[in-house]
Amino acid sequence: MLVYGDWGSYYMHNLGSMYMLPDLISLIRVPNLSPTTLKHHYSVVILTALNWFVDYSKDTYWRGMVIYAYLSMCTGIVNFYLGYQKLIPKNREKQKTVAKIALYNYAVCLLVNWSYQLYIISKWIFSSFPLWGLYINMIMIYVIVIDDIDLFSFLVYVSYDFDVRPYIIQFKQKCKDNLYKYCYKVYFKIRQSLPFTKLIEQLPKKDLQKTFDTK
Residue 4's pLDDT band (cuts 50, 70, 90): low
Comparison of pLDDT for 89 and 76, the residue scoring more: 76
- Given a cut of 80, whether residue 198 has pLDDT beyond it is no
- Residues with Cβ within 8 Å of 128's Cβ and at least 6 positions away in sequence, in order, are none
Q: Provide the H-helix boundaries in 7-87.
A: 9-29, 35-51, 63-73, 76-87
Over residues 80-106, the pLDDT tens digits come to 888 888 777 677 788 888 889 999 999
Q: What percent of the chain is modeled with pLDDT above 70?
A: 76
Comparison of pLDDT for 2 and 115, the residue scoring more: 115
Highest mean pLDDT among 2-6, 60-64, 125-129: 60-64
DSSP assignment letter at 3: T
Return the minimum-mean-pLDDT range out of 40-54, 125-139, 146-160: 125-139
pLDDT at residue 113, as a whole number: 92
pLDDT at residue 195, as a whole number: 57
Residue 107's pLDDT band (cuts 50, 70, 90): very high
Indicate yes or no: pTM above 0.75: no
- Given a cut of 60, whether residue 207 has pLDDT beyond it is no
Stretch 13-20: mean pLDDT:
89
CA angle 23, 29, 35 (to 5 degrees): 60
CA angle 161, 167, 171 (to 5 degrees): 140
DSSP assignment letter at 203: S
Comparison of pLDDT for 62 and 214, the residue scoring more: 62
Residue 209's pLDDT band (cuts 50, 70, 90): very low
By the 8 A CB rule, do 102 and 162 touch? no
Mean pLDDT score of the chain, rounded to an integer?
A: 79
